[in-house]
Structure 1
Amino acid sequence: MERDDFYQSVEQQANLADEADARDATAAVLSALGERLDETRSQRLDGDLPAEIGDHLAEGASGRDRSLDEFRSHVAERTDRADVDDPDRLSRAVVGTLLEHVGEDEADALRARLEEYGYDAIVPESGPGAGE
């Protein structure tokens, strides 16, 4: 998968103004996600993504116990360009694109992990990245 394809998908799914907004949203969401996931899971996902995108998963300490509200705040704080009136919308677009572009086993494992965390609101129920 190409970096530009990833950003284009995020831009379309989140209805963002341009690719710069998609890059900003991707960085914010994946860094927050990477901090919540354990290091092993982040590394597996990172391996399926273009380096520039996957690197966001490895930023900061991993395994932080954050509530969904804390995750949302983290996304809003780290988003400089993209409209964060709805951090769940941005997160669903990024997570949906991520799920769409990793292997099926990794996608299933990530969905299960996000459910365990109580992060159901950021997992798309339909469209790209949605589970069967």
Structure 2
Amino acid sequence: MKHDEFVGEVQHRLELASRGEAIRATRAVLTTLGERLQADEAADLAGPLPMEIDRFLHEADSGQIFDYQEFVERVSQRARVEEADAAFYGQAVMDVVEDCVPDTELDDVTAQLPDDYDELFELIGSEDYY
């Protein structure tokens, strides 16, 4: 998937008014996820993504330990949205990421996260949310 297609999918799934909002949402989610993952796992997840998108994972200060609530709070602050919207942003962006990466890579990501992060991956494979 190319950068424009990735951003367009995020914009569509989140029903955002502009590409800039879609990029901000993507950056908020992937930077925060990159902070939570170990550096090598963030790099593995970034590999199949468009170059303009993968940098959000690469630039994060990886290896931090925080729960899913903290993840949502960080996304909320970065994306400048309410926490409920931030949780949905996370799900939608990860659903687009899922379209780009091998299933085994997402398995590696989920294996590295505690169970409270399961909500982040709820939309993956679901066709009836957008």
Partner of 1:41: 41
SS at match of 2:45: helix
**Shift, 1:117, TM fit:** 4.8
The letter for the 1-side match of 2:4 is: D
Distance in 2 separating the partners of 1:19 and 1:117: 32
For 1:47-62, what aligned pairs fall within 5 Å after superposition?
47-62=47-62
The letter for the 2-side match of 1:4 is: D
Partner of 1:92: 91
**Shift, 1:91, TM fit:** 0.5
Partner of 1:120: 118
Gaps of 5+ in 2: none
Deviations 1:8-61 (A, max 9, x none): 111122222221111000000000000000111111111111111000012232
SS at match of 2:122: coil
Distance in 1 separating the partners of 2:111 and 2:26: 21
> What TM-score do the two structures reach when normalised by structure 1?
0.85
For 1:1-132, what aligned pairs fall within 5 Å after superposition?
1-80=1-80, 83-84=81-82, 85-114=84-113, 116-125=114-123, 126-127=125-126
**Shift, 1:113, TM fit:** 3.2
- Aligned-residue CA RMSD (Å): 1.7
The letter for the 2-side match of 1:55 is: R
Moved more, 60-69 or 83-92: 83-92
Contact 1:67 1:117 in 2 (8 A): no
Contact 1:29 1:94 in 2 (8 A): yes
Give the count of matched residue pairs: 125
Deviations 1:51-82 (A, max 9, x none): 110000122321111111111111111114xx
**Shift, 1:127, TM fit:** 2.6
